[in-house]
Amino acid sequence: MSSLRPLALISLLVLTACPPPKPPPPPEPGPLQAGVATRRLDLPVGIAMGGYLRTRPSSDPGSPWAKQFPASQGVHTEPTVRVVALTNGLTRLAFIRLDTTITTPSLRSRLIATLTAAGEPANVFMHATHTHAGPARIMPPARLGSATGTDFVSLVMDHYDPEVETRMTAAIVEAIAEAFGALKPVSVGVASVEAGDFNNDRRCENDPVYGYDFRDTALTVVRIDEVDEAGAPVRPLSALLHYAMHGTVLGSDNTLQSTEAPGALELYASDALGIPVMYVQGAAGDVSPRGGPFGHDELQQLERQGRAQAVLAQAAYARALPGVAAAKARLDFRERGVLLTREAFGYAKGEFPEWGGIQCAAGGPGACGAVKSDPADGGVFCLPLEPRKPFKTALSLVRIGDLLFFSLPGEPGTGLSRKMVSALAPLGATTVLPVGYAQDHYGYLLEEDDWLRGGYEPTVSAYGWKFGPYLLGQLDSFVATIDEPQEPADLAAVPPATARAVTDSTGAAAVVTEPLDAERLDTHAFEFEGGDPALGTPRVSLERDEGAGFVPVHASATRLVINGPELMLRYASTPTYKAEPDATTRRHLWSVKFETIPSTALGRYRLVARGATKVGGAQSTYELISRAFTVRKNTSVGARVTGRITSDGRYAVEARFPPNPTQYVMGLNDVVGAWRVRDMDSNPRDGALARGGTATGTLLAPDNTSSTVTLTWSPTESAWVSAVLTQTGRYELQLAPGALVDAQGNENGGNLSTFATR
């Protein structure tokens, strides 16, 4: 035994002399990868639309998808979810845009739970475009006073419906999975342009605080390009387009689902750039869309603004050319749970309702901030909300290299947003962008002095004048402790969903009304019997005969004409849901309108509808093909024609097509016709200007001599012009049918004459 002791002692000395093994180095990030995907939100025509206080007109047909609000009755542009998936090998992020009015805590919680169950865990940054023509019924109730009180949320979002939320979640999860399945190595660039012509300061009450016309006017493009093995950009993949603008071009009478002004910018920018662009809403709480200079209304205004603003997006995109991608990309996601209680906000007992308040009367009498409330003198009165458990909402930060996005759970005012951008300066990001309507929603987020000026915004802000400053303070604390563990945000309860029954159709899918041959500027109508909207909105595509057969028509190089905005889709049933809510069989009638414009390609077309139906309890798909119809050249050039003498002595002829002001349902601001833009730079009430081509006519000079003249198009004069005239006096130009021919081949169908004096 004694002979073993020295050996044991040596072993002990060796062990104590060896240092403990070093921990492995932390994993390092790899290059940035991105993927993009888009899905239709699986929400039927008939669903209530959010954002406005809406009342049902007597003509409302009702719908099982609308409880308190009028039913949507058709589609201008379908609501979708678009996802940009991002990863650097360490952080996995789904950056999600929804064509909805708001995001909600229950939708976020349901999404996270569904992603986990589907094996697609990811950090979620979800934001809404704030269209007021998008699906409602996704906000859990906030009742006045008690659990049996009026649901205040239902006044602007109809009543909460878990099935709507479940269907929406399924589409989001599909888009996330597709985006992560299409990852490509990328590089990112950022650039901004001035876009103040497209939004307005909509909150005059805070003019004494900030001054007149206080708003954010920058349009910022975050460009995402695929890169080669060396990290050099080789092709565009996607872009994020950040701007501040409410989605309120369409009024509360509108019955068409639409992605509104934010969606129009996204769609036409996508067309112009040839890639899927994502609209990212900024500090739009006090910013509305601006009408155009030529009097386009409603859907025409959406198209004109979208096309005009897309030109600016192109300019910013060109300047945002990314550099060589980093081998170790920075992609951070940080989140802080922010407690929502009266005490946390800093209110004394009795100063503000314990669980929040609504319809707060602030500002006193007077308009636009002339009077300011003093809460200490009882200047603010609110209707208290029902008791609720304390809840921590999310403040989220996304860092992509030197770019930083931060979420705001509501409708941020410009003043508060700018202070929050400044609060994030210590993080050192070159570009800091606020994202409103993100991760949650608690009404308008304003600075204290702004809130107390009154107006509409404080009446729908549940936590009063101290909530905005509280969020700013929380952001300050977040920045100061950015590298420390944060309190997690809470997950809201996720109520179970019960699927509605799908009604049968009275018979197999069938064509009801065929489109007719017509000239450009006419509208071609196609009606068919299909299925219950709950089975999905039919996909109606436009096809054109190219000689070897019909092929799909492109709206742009990367987008086919399927449903809106080129095709207006409407739905009606017999009996209506209002007349017989318990009917198990209905005639489901779908109608499509194709409105042509001066540049619509001539030729033979057809419309093809694809969808699902249920007859006798059996569900099936259908395809219905319309008759071939012809689009001919238009012969109404010169419906309005004028002559004048140019400053350099030439005869000029300006010719217009017939006026096309927007057509509405009688008594409502609900568009039924003339929704397309014929001319970006003409008032529809004056008629679109015919452009390009030539004009040949007989010119009678002041000395009564006549000559045949050919006038050529002058972009400077926006007219056809002759050579320089030599005589002074009165000239008359006579134009025979077919004498005026524009660049698209349209012409005048009758005799025209104009006069001008030199």
Does some domain include residue 372?
A: no
Q: How close are the terminal C-alpha atoms of the chain, in Å?
A: 131
Single-letter code of the amino acid located at 636: S
What is the model's pLDDT at position 8? Answer: 53
Strands 694-700 and 740-741, bridge-based pairing: antiparallel
Whether residues 402 and 511 share a domain: the answer is no
In DSSP terms, 126 is beta-bridged to 96
Whether residues 324 and 454 share a domain: the answer is yes
Whether residues 589 and 518 share a domain: the answer is yes
Task: Please count the residues of the chain.
Answer: 758
Phi/psi for 299 (5° steps) reads -65, -35
Residue 498: count of CB within 10 angstroms of its CB: 9
Cis ω for the linkage preceding 575 (within 30 of 0) = yes
Q: What 3-state class would DSSP assign to 590? A: strand
What is the model's pLDDT at position 5? Answer: 55
Whether residues 137 and 184 share a domain: the answer is yes
Reported as type and span, the H/E element at residue 225 is: strand 218-227
Whether residues 472 and 601 share a domain: the answer is no
CA 49/CA 135 separation, integer angstroms: 5
Measure CA 76 to chain center.
Answer: 12
Give yes or no for a contact between 396 and 333, defined as CB atoms under 8 angstroms apart.
yes
Of the three residues 632, 658, 692, the one that is the final residue of a domain is 632
Of the three residues 480, 514, 529, the one that is the final residue of a domain is 480
| Residue whose tokens read 């009795």 | 350
| Residue whose tokens read 């985006």 | 179
Measure CA 758 to chain center.
Answer: 51
Whether residues 624 and 655 share a domain: the answer is no
Phi/psi for 92 (5° steps) reads -125, 115
In DSSP terms, 336 is beta-bridged to 395
Whether residues 136 and 283 share a domain: the answer is yes
- Buried (b) or exposed (e) across 65-81, using 16+ Cβ within 10 A? bbebbbbbbbbbbbbbb
In the sheet that holds 331-340, the strands lie side by side as 331-340, 391-400, 403-407, 431-435
CATH of the domain at 571: 2.60.40.2300
Q: What tokens were used for 452?
A: 């107390």
Does some domain include residue 359?
A: no
Give yes or no for a contact between 305 and 261, defined as CB atoms under 8 angstroms apart.
yes
Does some domain include residue 489?
A: no
Q: Write the CB contacts of 456 (distance below 8 Å, at least 6 apart in sequence).
A: none
Q: What tokens were used for 125?
A: 């940054």
Give yes or no for a contact between 233 and 322, defined as CB atoms under 8 angstroms apart.
yes
What is the model's pLDDT at position 17? Answer: 58
Reported as type and span, the H/E element at residue 162 is: helix 162-180
Whether residues 401 and 271 share a domain: the answer is yes
Does some domain include residue 101?
A: yes
What is the model's pLDDT at position 591? Answer: 98
Single-letter code of the amino acid located at 264: A
CA 405/CA 431 separation, integer angstroms: 8
What is the model's pLDDT at position 371? Answer: 80
What is the model's pLDDT at position 301? Answer: 97
CA 447/CA 437 separation, integer angstroms: 17
Of the three residues 583, 605, 632, the one that is the final residue of a domain is 632
Whether residues 708 and 628 share a domain: the answer is no
Give me the average pLDDT of each 10-residue run along the chain (758 residues): 49 57 86 98 96 93 97 97 98 98 97 93 97 97 93 95 97 97 98 97 94 97 98 98 97 97 98 98 97 95 97 98 97 98 95 93 76 81 93 98 98 98 98 98 96 92 96 98 96 94 97 98 98 97 96 96 96 98 98 98 98 97 98 97 97 97 89 96 97 96 96 96 96 97 97 96
Does some domain include residue 292?
A: yes
Whether residues 515 and 427 share a domain: the answer is no
What is the model's pLDDT at position 367? Answer: 73
Whether residues 569 and 695 share a domain: the answer is no
CA 684/CA 295 separation, integer angstroms: 7
DSSP 535: G
Name the residue among 755, 743, 677 with its Cα closest to residue 714. 743
Does some domain include residue 371?
A: no
- Decide: residue 13, CB within 10 A, 0-12 exposed, 13-18 middle, 19+ buried: exposed
Alpha-helical (H) ranges within 181-273 are 207-210, 260-273
Whether residues 564 and 672 share a domain: the answer is no
Domain assignment of residue 517, given as a range: 504-632
Does some domain include residue 485?
A: no
How many structural domains comprise the chain?
Answer: 3
Alpha-helical (H) ranges within 118-161 are 154-157
DSSP 596: -
What is the model's pLDDT at position 25? Answer: 80
Whole-model pTM: value is: 0.94
Single-letter code of the amino acid located at 676: R
